[in-house]
Structure 1
Amino acid sequence: MFNRLFILTLGLLASVEAHPQHRRHNANEIERRATTPTIAGWNYVGCVTDGGARALTAQSKIDGKMTAELCTSWCAASGYTYAGLEARNQCFCDNSLKNGLGAAAAASDCSYACDGNSAESCGGYYKLNLWRAASAVAPTSSKAAATPTSTSKAAVATPTATPASASSGSGYSLMGCYSDSGSDRTLTGTEMESYSLTTASCASYCSSKGFAYAGTSYGKQCFCGNSVPAARKQATESGCSYACTGDSSAKCGGYYYLDVYALGGTAATSTSKAAVTTSTSSAAATSSAPAGAAGSVTFGVASPPAATGTKALYAHHMVGNTYSYTQSTWADDINQAHNSGLDGFALNYGSDSWQPARLADAYAAAKAQGNFKLFLSLDVSSLGCGSADAAANLVNTIATYATNTAQAKYNGKVLVSTFAGENCQFGQGSVNAGWTYFRTLLTNKGISVYFVPAIFSDPSTFKSNAWMDGEFNWNGAWPMGADALTTASDSSYMSALGSKGYMAAVSPAFFTYYSPSSYNKDWIYRSDDWLIARRMEQLVAMRNHVDLAEIISWNDYGESHYIGPIRADQPNSQGWTNGMPHTAWLNVIAFYANAFKTGHYATTSDSMVFWTRPHPKGATATSPSMAKPTRWEDTDDLLYAWITLKSPATVTVYSGSNSVSWNLNTGVNKVSVKSAPGVIGGKIVRGGATTVSYDSTGQFTYVATPRDYNFNYFVASA
């Protein structure tokens, strides 16, 4: 039995990858091509790494006649100085390498023949044939700094730059050039990378995180901390000679060298991050925290805006993970979801022969329940969409349930969505013609649908696509970098859609850890900043613009964003899901779901929900099954807690020896504590009596050194 894992497309520009994890390579696809053409005005760099976040992010396209000449000329015409070819027919452009990608790879990894010229190579599986305009600066990759392959600094380009000017009046002062180490950092608090880094932006970042020192390195890296080893200070500035990526006239450290700055103009004396208190309302809160606990709190929620229309909140349900389900199993999922404020499931189904029977059981269970609705999410990355027969098969499945009383509808029309579809032609010669044909087949059967696909293509095309009624913005659920999630993606999509509908995405987390011999998926997206609560609050705030929202997901264990119970049919994800329950997040969702749909927050009671990862992000596993996931640095080592109070109380939250107490007000409070080895927990105390408490003893322990990497969350509630 094979449980199909349906893949997230990583970022808007990842759309062109056509979900390579599902691709079955054959000998013709991976035939090595040694020929590199000569292209006037361009230099061939070599084969370099790419990834879901993309090394070149400015623009991209797929062309069935792709060649190196076509890609470079297209990028040049748009004013870009880097061009990359990948997976036979894909072209990417930008003016610099992004997201820490672009490290040198073996030439054999770029062995796919170009669709437009079989004598040329067009990259490989997440590998780029990279070209650089003759006038452009040579590319660099942050991978070189994180994992040096040579002890000689001569192996790394060293741009010249003048020393940065930093006076006490600027809020930070230069202490000097300090040596650094990948395994023993000089500044150990937190870090970030930016291709527009300046001394000021690094100092501001570290200051905002509550640290006393900031350090710039490698031209684009920023490190923060609260103590600096004096022995690492260098006698001269010779090691710190890299130009800042955001200000070429200033220097930002070097290859394992830091320009270190004391923030506030003077050297700070603390040895740990101080407690931070911020507020989202006018109420007052106080906190007390021992050195090192690093407590933070936000409290209060904005009143939901008035809105028209009928709101509905669904959850993405992976039918591919339901092989052993019976109708009673579906009924249990449905009851838990309904009791948590969800209106239904989006049934993501694929090509496995047993899945139609699971769809039938799901609709039967929902029909029996009476108030819970279902709609089909056509996973065309699995089902296929290249022929007219494929379109007919999809339409027949929709027709099977169109009149079922459990079928979800919007404005009286049958609700239908997809995962992917940006390359579907259904034998009609173009994507627009293909989906128009699909709609025609539905019309011929007398079925009126409200079609809101999750296609990963240029949003500027959405308004003109007459075959779509709206768009499900799949990647709006997670931040794509090291900062907290904003609504910028929502605004961009809604603007592009015009009067068409918009379905917002919500998710609590993302971590996947599959080896190259399996699905070859090993990365995280930042899931910090109380992501599920933060995103639900954004959804409530957007309710006058958004009628439909979908939580990703109910049961996608492989990507760690499940909110339902962990069941038997896992896609070999037990290594990071066993002992890591998530159903406590349903308490958070239930609170906000009511506000999204009714425009009113329910009366709060005393409750606590906790979530944390099981080990520090910088830990080195003793027996890892593979490399630490990409983007591991885009997270924080914190225990998050979401708390509701029926009246003011004293709240204590602890992670190991780090314990923080706050005097908090009625309503919603979001707090965090610096993670430390040991159990987690907390309590609510009012009038000297404990009303709610939790301790993870026997269930979960945060460890300093894990056996294997796991960036999934343990979630629990009081």
Structure 2
Amino acid sequence: MKFLLALASVALPTAHAAKEVFAHMIVGNVNNFDLADWENDMRLAKESSIDAFVLNVGAGDENNDRSLELAFQAANSQSFKLFFSFDYLGGPAGPWPKDQVIALLEKFGNDPAYFKHDGQRPFVSTFEGPDNAADWTDIKAGSNAFFIPDWSSKSPAEAVTLAGGVADGLFNFDPWPVGPSNVSTDLDKPFLDALGDKLYMMPVSPWFYTNLPKLNKNWLWPGDGLWDTRWNQVMELQPDFVQILTWNDFGESHYIGPVNEKQLGLFTTFEAPVNYVKDLAHDGWRKFLPFYIEQYKTGQAPAEFAEQAAAYYRTAAALACASGGTTGNNPAFGEPQFNPEDLMEDAVFFAALLKSDEGVTVSVSIGGQTQEASFSIAPPSGAGTAGVYRGSVPFGGNTGDVVVTVSRGGETVATAEGGKPISGTCENDVQNWNAVAV
């Protein structure tokens, strides 16, 4: 959800607790999961150094009981952590009644798998719900909850004062730039200024595109370069917590978890003109997470890591097919409207996690047509240092399989390949503005 925020002067955050990185998970998407599905996702999250899933739960969802029982069973078997984000907008029954929030926290808040702030207080968040802020005085009194809500529909200065300052901090559900601007820390600074000694949970996301007519959703925000840029901003601001948006929100294309057919029924339910997630894995956006997360937590690059390559790209040129009525930006939020092709490049974006870029070359093959490439962006520590180096090459009218090869001294260091090929056509002749990340 996007809201325009008034900029304020900056108050740099102070260290309050051990830093943690979470991933937002839509429980309503996993109604068909079995225990093995939950365990598989948790294993992948742990391999990516994610500390916990933030379980977005909607009030009145008849599948909540089964899904949550499985989730906590899996988390205990995998030594993984979970906590709730109560969705005050997306549930079948509307905003959460206070007594139902209390009941869920009583049932799960003391579970060994429930994530505790500083090992003691059950961590709790929301998606929206500022009109119910007063409920949290009683909820916190009964549960000892550590409460970091998303009340982004209010300004940070107002949100932090609601119900006498009941929130222990704030989460900002807004990591996407309003095109054609690039993402910046101006999204975060109003929160840092308003929060004072309270804690800030900073959002990071790789992409945004949605086309679900039954929900009146059909827009994109620019995602070129977003993921790695945002992680560099995390290093700059050093927030108390980071929340990745998201693990499995396929309807908005910002998932980093695996594509599981059991979660894709929403494209039929909400009458999407095309299933814009099928065969478009985003696994590549998880590759560098252990590096980024350790760097965020320790303040320095890890001493040891495997050099790797990643790439992402859309699977058809912007003008290869009809736009699908998608707008660049969302006019319903009062944002200026652009043609989507004006906000997205027809390019293969590549990145390499390297100990140094000295002697390194890059080639990008599209359908067997190879282009020599170079890094245009070095890590914040500069060229010749350890970190993520980035660049891009245009499609150049080429179609076919994409292979990115990173070499040093003539020897291959890493490759990124195996994603859906670039094509000159689109399913149902509707442009898919989602990307594949390998």
1:312 to 9, 20, 30: 20
State the partner residue of 2:219. Answer: 523
The Cα of 1:604 is off from its aligned counterpart by: 4.0
The 3 A distance-change label for structure 1 pair 691 and 401 is same
Does residue 670 (structure 1) correspond to residue 390 (structure 2)? The answer is: yes
Q: Distance in 1 between matches of 2:410 and 2:45?
A: 36
3-state DSSP of counterpart to 1:348: strand
Aligned AA (2:423): V
State the partner residue of 1:680. Answer: 402
Does residue 643 (structure 1) correspond to residue 352 (structure 2)? The answer is: yes
Does residue 393 (structure 1) correspond to residue 93 (structure 2)? The answer is: no
Aligned AA (1:659): Q
Q: Distance in 1 between matches of 2:217 and 2:413?
A: 43
1:569 to 263, 266, 280: 263
State the partner residue of 1:338. Answer: 46
The Cα of 1:605 is off from its aligned counterpart by: 3.0
Q: Distance in 2 between matches of 1:361 and 1:395?
A: 20
* Contact 1:473/1:490, CA 8 A, preserved across alignment: yes
Q: Distance in 2 between matches of 1:438 and 1:386?
A: 17
State the partner residue of 2:230. Answer: 535
1:352 to 61, 66, 72: 61
Does residue 404 (structure 1) correspond to residue 97 (structure 2)? The answer is: no
Q: Distance in 2 between matches of 1:397 and 1:675?
A: 50
Aligned AA (1:702): I
Within-5 A mapping of 1:13-412: 309-350=17-58, 351-370=60-79, 372-383=80-91, 390-411=97-118, 412=120
The Cα of 1:508 is off from its aligned counterpart by: 0.4
1:449 to 145, 158, 161: 145
The Cα of 1:338 is off from its aligned counterpart by: 0.7
* Contact 1:482/1:635, CA 8 A, preserved across alignment: no
User: What is the CA deviation profile of residues 246-282 of structure 1, one whole-angstrom value per residue up to 9, with x for unaligned ones?
Assistant: xxxxxxxxxxxxxxxxxxxxxxxxxxxxxxxxxxxxx
1:485 to 183, 201, 211: 183
Q: Distance in 2 between matches of 1:386 and 1:613?
A: 36
2:246 to 546, 553, 556: 553
Q: Distance in 1 between matches of 2:202 and 2:405?
A: 34
Q: Distance in 2 between matches of 1:671 and 1:423?
A: 45
1:610 to 303, 306, 311: 311
State the partner residue of 2:159. Answer: 462
3-state DSSP of counterpart to 1:539: helix
TM-score normalised to the size of structure 2? 0.83
What's the % identity of the aligned pairs? 28
Aligned AA (1:405): P
Q: Distance in 2 between matches of 1:614 and 1:675?
A: 10
* Contact 2:15/2:240, CA 8 A, preserved across alignment: no
Q: Distance in 2 between matches of 1:461 and 1:691?
A: 51
Q: Distance in 2 between matches of 1:382 and 1:514?
A: 15
State the partner residue of 2:333. Answer: none
3-state DSSP of counterpart to 1:382: coil
Aligned AA (2:232): E
The 3 A distance-change label for structure 1 pair 502 and 695 is closer
The 3 A distance-change label for structure 1 pair 385 and 581 is closer
3-state DSSP of counterpart to 1:504: strand
The 3 A distance-change label for structure 1 pair 694 and 552 is closer
The Cα of 1:586 is off from its aligned counterpart by: 0.7
5+ residue gaps, structure 1, are 1-8, 14-56, 59-304, 425-434
The 3 A distance-change label for structure 1 pair 336 and 484 is same
The Cα of 1:692 is off from its aligned counterpart by: 2.7
The Cα of 1:308 is off from its aligned counterpart by: 6.1
The Cα of 1:593 is off from its aligned counterpart by: 0.9
2:3 to 2, 6, 11: 11
The Cα of 1:11 is off from its aligned counterpart by: 1.9
Does residue 600 (structure 1) correspond to residue 296 (structure 2)? The answer is: no
The Cα of 1:611 is off from its aligned counterpart by: 0.1
The 3 A distance-change label for structure 1 pair 415 and 614 is same
The 3 A distance-change label for structure 1 pair 604 and 495 is same
The Cα of 1:327 is off from its aligned counterpart by: 2.1
Query: Number of aligned pairs?
Result: 394
Alpha-carbon RMSD across the aligned residues, in angstroms, is 2.5
Q: Distance in 2 between matches of 1:675 and 1:306?
A: 44
3-state DSSP of counterpart to 1:360: helix
The 3 A distance-change label for structure 1 pair 666 and 604 is farther
Aligned AA (2:391): V
The 3 A distance-change label for structure 1 pair 702 and 437 is closer
Does residue 652 (structure 1) correspond to residue 347 (structure 2)? The answer is: no
3-state DSSP of counterpart to 1:416: strand
* Contact 1:555/1:564, CA 8 A, preserved across alignment: yes
The 3 A distance-change label for structure 1 pair 694 and 493 is closer
Q: Distance in 2 between matches of 1:538 and 1:10?
A: 19
User: What is the CA deviation profile of residues 384-442 of structure 1, one whole-angstrom value per residue up to 9, with x for unaligned ones?
Assistant: 8988x811011111111111111112233211001111333xxxxxxxxxx23332144
* Contact 1:325/1:358, CA 8 A, preserved across alignment: yes
3-state DSSP of counterpart to 2:288: helix
3-state DSSP of counterpart to 1:581: coil
The 3 A distance-change label for structure 1 pair 418 and 592 is same
* Contact 1:533/1:589, CA 8 A, preserved across alignment: no
Tell which structure's C-alpha radius of gyration is larger: 1
Q: Distance in 1 between matches of 2:437 and 2:197?
A: 39
The 3 A distance-change label for structure 1 pair 693 and 422 is same
Q: Distance in 2 between matches of 1:437 and 1:553?
A: 27
Q: Distance in 1 between matches of 2:15 and 2:218?
A: 41
Q: Distance in 2 between matches of 1:577 and 1:548?
A: 29
State the partner residue of 1:713. Answer: 435
Q: Distance in 1 between matches of 2:228 and 2:309?
A: 13
User: What is the CA deviation profile of residues 617-674 of structure 1, one whole-angstrom value per residue up to 9, with x for unaligned ones?
Assistant: 34433xx7x4234441222222111102245322222445461233884532111111
Does residue 584 (structure 1) correspond to residue 284 (structure 2)? The answer is: yes
Q: Distance in 1 between matches of 2:193 and 2:183?
A: 19
Aligned AA (1:627): G
Q: Distance in 2 between matches of 1:471 and 1:458?
A: 11
Q: Distance in 2 between matches of 1:497 and 1:555?
A: 29
* Contact 2:149/2:171, CA 8 A, preserved across alignment: yes
The Cα of 1:694 is off from its aligned counterpart by: 4.2
Aligned AA (1:601): A
5+ residue gaps, structure 2, are 8-12, 330-339, 376-382
Q: Distance in 2 between matches of 1:438 and 1:390?
A: 11
3-state DSSP of counterpart to 2:90: helix
